[in-house]
A = this chain, B = another copy of it.
Amino acid sequence: MGHRDHGIDRREAAGLGPREARERFRAGLSVPTSGFSRGYTQANLIIVPKEQAFDVLLFAQRNPKSCPVLGVLDAGETSGPLLAGGDIRTDVPAYTVYENGVRVAEPADITGYWREDLVTFIVGCSFTFETALMDGGIAMAHLEQGVNVPMYRTSIRSAPAGSMSGPMVVSMRPIPASRVADAVRITSRYPAVHGAPVHVGNPAEIGIEDLARPDFGDAVEIPEGHLPVFWACGVTPQAAVMESRPALAIGHAPGHMLITDARDSEYQVP
């Protein structure tokens, strides 16, 4: 929690192209990616052995708000059109490795964990629509406060799929009461990156006890006159992994996303 030293200033981060950003992460930069590569789509990862892959893809199909799949790398593939010239094992700022549902490491690269049977799911991230919100004059508190976005497990259950079940995880952004409708309208246009909020206001109604203690990321202060607004989050598959305990699964570290070559506008609906 608290202000982080990003080793890169906010303006520079916003101006990096996706390939440049991935190169920085490959070279060792390990920071949350909110605000990076303005206009480019950010993504969550969930990587599992082929034998788990159908359950994960079906889980995503049944939970499109939290798990909008942007792309899938076949077993053993480490690159693809969303990260041209990149390497999924090194190009994300930080990863989380789970064995039997327990987080065993948070490495900066996963080359040592790689296996030829691993299938990578690239899942839309709400950092993508933050550009559109800011263009609409709605400030992002976590960026203003220099911290990672706060994320929470909720009492909302995901639809199960085979071996995969767990709670929906949400991200939270404080929004001025007068702009909640605009935030809904703007983010509705991006269903592939979680779309409209799943909840506005009282966190207790979705099982969040204390906004000051997020399950992932950092707490943010809620300014006077703002409501907490909650969006489905691509950490949801990791919450399912923790509950469903497959032998191996790898995700991004929450808030530390893959920056793809896709433009936000590609995922915008009318």
Contacts and interface: CB of A to CB of B under 8 A. Distances in A.
A270 interface: yes
Contacts of A189: 270
Interface in A61-88: 61-62, 69, 72, 74
> Which range holds the interface residue count of chain A?
10 to 19
Q: Quick one: copies of this chain in the complex?
A: 2
B188 A270 contact: yes
Contact of A54 (B54, B69, B188, B269): B54
Contacts of A102: none
A269 B191 contact: yes
Contacts of A269: 191, 269-270
A162 interface: yes
Nearest to A270: B188
A269 B57 CA distance: 23
A206 interface: no
Contacts of A57: 54, 57-58, 61
Interface of A: 50, 53-54, 57-58, 61-62, 69, 72, 74, 162, 188-189, 191, 269-270
19 contacts: A50-B54, A53-B54, A54-B54, A54-B57, A57-B57, A57-B58, A57-B61, A58-B72, A61-B61, A61-B69, A61-B72, A62-B72, A74-B162, A188-B270, A189-B270, A191-B269, A269-B269, A269-B270, A270-B270
